[in-house]
Structure 1
Amino acid sequence: MADTPRRVRATAAAMDLLRRLRGRHGPLMLHQSGGCCDGSAPMCYPAGEFVVGDRDVLLGLLDLRLRVGELPATPPEPDDIAPVWISGPQFAAWRHTQLVLDVVPGRGSGFSLEAPEGFRFLSRGRVFDSDELATLATVATVTGADWERGERPTASTQPQVVAEAADACPVPGRGTPWNPV
């Protein structure tokens, strides 16, 4: 069976910002917002400050020890993990997409920890190919209710951190069928 693709990855810049925020605020969690006053931004909170719903879906666990292309040599400590959640209905619409957590200059939402940092988290996406979708169809998702019962996601051996978002979700270049100019 093919390795399970990650539903969430992060750029090196996003991981650096998460590590800085963890140093100031302790363990973290993220929730991919579905709209309202914060748009569709990934929101970063101190772990446990955002109530995860029973039907929210865990996209993955970001291991804050990792750098570009690294795989963990040892299991992470709980404080090294930042879970990334999304609402159940939003997951249903995005289930075919890998979320790539990135960071860009600008002011984020007042509710997210990075707001005073001069940067904001940004979600980018890459559509899974048919083989990845077939593999993901065999893997159970972990909901908030599952998490409360102690269930954890299947581990992936694919690298989690990319140097830049384009490394995970490339934009077709010139001379391709998508951009012939």
Structure 2
Amino acid sequence: MTERLSLDKVSATPEAVEFLNEIIADHGPVLFHQSGGCCDGSSPMCYKRSEFIVGDQDVLLGMIGDTPVYISASQYEAWKHTDLIIDVVPGRGGMFSLDNGREKRFLTRSTVCAVPG
């Protein structure tokens, strides 16, 4: 597999890093994959690294500490001029995401980047 790499286009709030560390303590190394589905469109899904196969069309947006953050190539095309910020809010995570059932969940926020002219 050839991994596609963007510039470092992802960061996390201190609250999200703390929550991520709780999940890593429970499950070991994880990764995020930015959902593009209709139900979890702003939810970065959190999976055990050993249980998720990164696809040939996935783009590595960057790292949060040692945790990689991926997005599908088609989603990346729509979001490539955006910096993504992983945050945490009250609620339930995506059905298969490791934040599910913890009464708080990850959420992706964004800021528009300067577009070269």
Where in structure 1 do 4 or more consecutive aligned residues deviate above 6 Å?
none
Residues 59, 85 of structure 1: 8 Å contact kept: yes
Given the two structures, how large is their TM-score scaled by the length of structure 1?
0.58
Q: Which runs of 5+ in 1 are unaligned?
A: 64-80, 135-181
Query: Which structure 2 segments of 5+ residues have no match?
Result: 1-6
d(CA) in 2 for partners of 1:103 and 1:23? 17
Q: Is the 8 A contact 1:31 1:44 kept in 2?
A: yes
> Which structure features the higher share of strand residues?
2
Q: Cα RMSD between the aligned structures?
A: 1.5
Distance 2:34 2:114 in 1: 22
How far is the alpha carbon of 1:37 from its aligned partner? Answer: 4.2
Q: How does 1:8-27 map to 2 (within 5 A)?
A: 8-27=10-29
Count of aligned residue pairs for this structure pair = 111
Give the number of the structure whose alpha-carbon radius of gyration is greater: 1
Match of 2:59 in 1: 57
Contact 1:7 1:98 in 2 (8 A): yes
Superposed CA deviations along residues 19-62 of structure 1, whole A, max 9, x for unmatched, are 00000000010000001443331000111312211011000011
Give the counterpart of 1:29 among 13, 31, 43: 31
Report the counterpart of residue 112 of structure 2 in structure 1: 127
CA contact (8 A) 2:8 2:63 kept: no
TM-score, reference length from structure 2: 0.88
Q: Distance in 2 between matches of 1:90 and 1:16?
A: 27
Give how far 1:8 is off. Answer: 0.1
